[in-house]
Structure 1
C-alpha cells in the first residue's frame, strides 16, 4: 500500500494555478483567490493621527498638576492648526496631530476645567500617536497573489482605494455518484435502497472551499452510463470527483469507463483508515479523483488528500493547512496496520496541548461522527495510542476552508 504522506504529496504536486484571471469589483471578490500581488499605493495612516480621545500637547508643558488652556477642538477629517507653546488642543480618535505636538494624553489622565485642562499624569513623547505609514507603507506588498480573499482582505483593498482586483476564475467542480442502490433524498426508499448522501455532501464541501459544484450527476451501475457521465463532466468542469466504483469488484465500473474513454489512471491502496481505495485520473485533460464510496471514507479522503490539490488548482499559495499536536483522552487503545484517522472533539487547554476525545463509533459507516467531530487525529501505522498519547490532529475548520 502507498503510505499516506506520499499519497498526499503526489496529489498536491499535480496542482497548478489557472492560466486565466478576471478583474472583479470588491463586492464580487469574497471567497475568490487573488491573482496579483497588491502593493500599497498610499501610506496608512496617511498622516500622524490620534489613537485616543484626549489632548495634543508638548511634553515640557505637561507636568502633573499643570493647567493648560485649550487652544482649539480638532475633529477627525479637519485640518489642524499648529499648537502654541503652553496650550493643549482637544483631539478625538483619528484627529490629525497638530504641528508642534509631541504626544496625546488620554482624557482619562486629565481633568477638564473652565477653558482648560489639568494634567494628572505626565505623558511620554509619542504616546497614543499613530505614525504615518505604520500600518501600510507606500510601495510595500500588502496582499500576496494566491491569497484567498475574505472580509479582512477586502478591507485592506478598500482602505487603499482599490475598487477592484484580479482574481482567478472560480473552479467548476463535477461530481459523479453511482450505484443502483442510491436514491435521491426526498424520495421513498425501496427494501434495498439507501439515500444518496455523497452527492450533497461533496457539493457542500466544494462550496465551503470557494469552488462551484457546477454539475452533480448520478449513474446506475452500467458501464455506458458511467462513461457518458464522466465524459460530460470532464469536458465541462475543471476538476471531477467520482465516488465509489473504482476498486476491483464486479460492480466497480469507473476504472474501465475511464480507460475506455482514453483516460489514464493511477489506482492506489493508501495506507489509511478510513479511505483505502483512491484513484487519480486524467480525462480530457482534466484531473479526476476517484473517492471511496463509503460516505465517511469519501469525506476523510476529500479532506486530507483532495483538498491540497483543489487549493493548488484554485491558485492558492498555502495548500497544506496546519497540523497541530494534541493529547488523546480515551479509555481504549487505537492503531493498526494503516494510519488511523480518528474523528475527535477538541478541548483547548491553557499552556497544554489540546485534549482530543475520539467518538465512540469509528466505523466507516458512522456518519453521525462527522457532524460531531472537530478534527481528525492521526495514529500512525504500526503504532498504538491510548490515554495521554501525543498525536497529530487535523482541524476540519482549516482543512475544509
Structure 2
C-alpha cells in the first residue's frame, strides 16, 4: 500500500503522447489549443466610436457644423475640416480626420448646428486601431483552454478553425452480480446500479463526452473479455467494482492476464483504499472501488487530473487550495481522508455521512477536504486543503 503523495508522484511521471486535431471553432469549445495563434488583423481594424454621439474635427470653439452621419458598418470618406462633425453610432468607424467623439448626452443639436457642453480632449470615446490586439501579435498561446470568450475572440479575428489537443475516449466497465438497473424490480440481495450514470455525469460535466459503457457479471472470462474490449476501444478505462480480494472480484486477475502493468494498487486513504491504476502501452486503466462515494472520490482526485493532462491542461495532482475550517474536527485515522464538505464564502464545513457507500452527503457537497492520517485535533479557523468538485 502506498501513500497519496506516492500515488500522485507515479501519475505525475506517467509518459504519454498528446494527439492533435483541427476542429471548427464551435466544435473546439472546451478543448485546449495545441498551437500558438497570431492575429491576422488589427482589432479593431479601424478607429472605433465607443458610444453614440458626434465625431468632431477639433477646433477652439464649442460650436460645430454637422455635415454627415456614420452608421456601424459604414465608412465616411470625406475629409472633415476643423469645426465640422458627423453623427456617429457605437462601433462605427471614426473618420480619419476626426480626433474625438462627444457623447450625445453632452451636446445640443439645432438643425446642422452642434453645441458642445464642454471642451473635449483628443481620443475621447475613440477605441484606437489595434487597441485590443495588433496584427501579428500573439492572440492566444498553446495550452489555452477554449472558453466561450476565447472562441468569440478568435472568431472576431477571422479564425474558422484551430488545432487542439484531442480529448481521450473513455470506457466505463461496471461489474457486479448484485446490480440491477433503476426501474427494474429490486429483488432480495440486489441493489440499483448507480456508479455508471454517476461517472458518466461527472465526465459530461467535465466536458468529456466520448464515453462508452460496458456491463459484466462477476465471472472471470466475461470480465476479461469486457476489459479487453474496453481497453482496445478507448484511451482511458474506468472499472467500477471487482477490485478487492473477494472470491468474486475478478478485475485484478483479468487485468494481469491481459498484461496490464500495475502502477500501484491500494492507497492509504479513506475512502478509496482498493484503487488500482494500470497501464497497457499508452492506455490507462483506473480500477475504482465499487462503493459509490469511494468511486467518485477517486474520480475527482486521480482520474479527472489525468484526463485533463491528456487533454493539454497543465493540471497537477493534489490541491494547493486552502480554506478555513468552520468548526473543530477530531482526526483519529491511520489512513488519510478525503471528506465530503461544503464551502460557503471562505470557510468549509465537513459534512456527516462520510461512509464510502453513501452518496446522500456527496449530493450536497461542493468540495472534498483532505485530512492527513494521524491522531490530532483540527480547530475552527485552521487552514485545510480542499478539492473543488
TM-score (norm 2): 0.90
Alignment of 1:116 onto 2:104: no
Partner residue in 2 for 1:313: 310
Distance 1:30 1:360 in 2: 38
Distance 1:70 1:121 in 2: 17
Residues 297 and 95 of structure 1, relative CA distance in 2, 3 Å threshold: same
Partner residue in 2 for 1:351: none
| Aligned equivalent of 1:355, options 347, 368, 371 | 347
Distance 2:80 2:90 in 1: 18
Partner residue in 2 for 1:52: 51
Partner residue in 2 for 1:5: 5
Q: SS of 1:384's equivalent? A: strand
Alignment of 1:78 onto 2:78: no
Distance 1:304 1:23 in 2: 30
Matches within 5 A, 1:176-215: 176-215=173-212
Distance 2:105 2:52 in 1: 9
Q: SS of 2:361's equivalent? A: helix
Residues 6 and 72 of structure 1, relative CA distance in 2, 3 Å threshold: farther
More displaced, 322-331 or 180-189?
A: 322-331
User: How far has the Cα of 1:335 moved from its partner?
Assistant: 6.0
Structure 2 contact 49–91 (Cα < 8 Å) conserved: yes
Distance 1:369 1:13 in 2: 34
Post-superposition Cα deviations, 1:99-148, rounded to whole Å, max 9, x if no partner, equal: 23222222223333332332223333322221221212222222233334
Distance 1:274 1:109 in 2: 66
Distance 1:379 1:159 in 2: 47
Structure 1 contact 170–212 (Cα < 8 Å) conserved: no
Alignment of 1:102 onto 2:103: no
Structure 2 contact 328–380 (Cα < 8 Å) conserved: yes
More displaced, 82-91 or 380-389?
A: 380-389
Alignment of 1:68 onto 2:67: no
Structure 2 contact 319–386 (Cα < 8 Å) conserved: no
User: How far has the Cα of 1:173 moved from its partner?
Assistant: 0.7
Alignment of 1:30 onto 2:14: no
User: How far has the Cα of 1:321 moved from its partner?
Assistant: 9.6
The runs of 5 or more residues in structure 2 that have no matched partner are: none
Q: SS of 2:378's equivalent? A: coil
The runs of 5 or more residues in structure 1 that have no matched partner are: 349-353, 397-401
Residues 11 and 53 of structure 1, relative CA distance in 2, 3 Å threshold: same
Distance 1:369 1:111 in 2: 64
Distance 1:118 1:380 in 2: 72
**RMSD of aligned C-alpha atoms?**
2.4
More displaced, 375-384 or 300-309?
A: 375-384
Q: SS of 1:277's equivalent? A: coil
Alignment of 1:339 onto 2:331: no
Partner residue in 2 for 1:249: 246
Q: SS of 2:275's equivalent? A: strand
User: How far has the Cα of 1:6 moved from its partner?
Assistant: 3.3
Partner residue in 2 for 1:231: 228
User: How far has the Cα of 1:237 moved from its partner?
Assistant: 0.8
More displaced, 121-130 or 234-243?
A: 121-130
User: How far has the Cα of 1:319 moved from its partner?
Assistant: 5.7
Partner residue in 1 for 2:218: 221
Residues 2 and 322 of structure 1, relative CA distance in 2, 3 Å threshold: closer
More displaced, 313-322 or 326-335?
A: 313-322
More displaced, 359-368 or 191-200?
A: 359-368
Structure 1 contact 11–308 (Cα < 8 Å) conserved: no
| Aligned equivalent of 2:380, options 382, 387, 397 | 387
User: How far has the Cα of 1:235 moved from its partner?
Assistant: 0.8
Structure 1 contact 12–308 (Cα < 8 Å) conserved: no
Structure 1 contact 174–216 (Cα < 8 Å) conserved: yes
Residues 241 and 142 of structure 1, relative CA distance in 2, 3 Å threshold: same
Structure 1 contact 16–315 (Cα < 8 Å) conserved: no
Post-superposition Cα deviations, 1:239-297, rounded to whole Å, max 9, x if no partner, equal: 11112222333333211111112221133332333222221112365111111211111
Structure 1 contact 41–138 (Cα < 8 Å) conserved: yes
TM-score (norm 1): 0.88
Residues 214 and 393 of structure 1, relative CA distance in 2, 3 Å threshold: closer
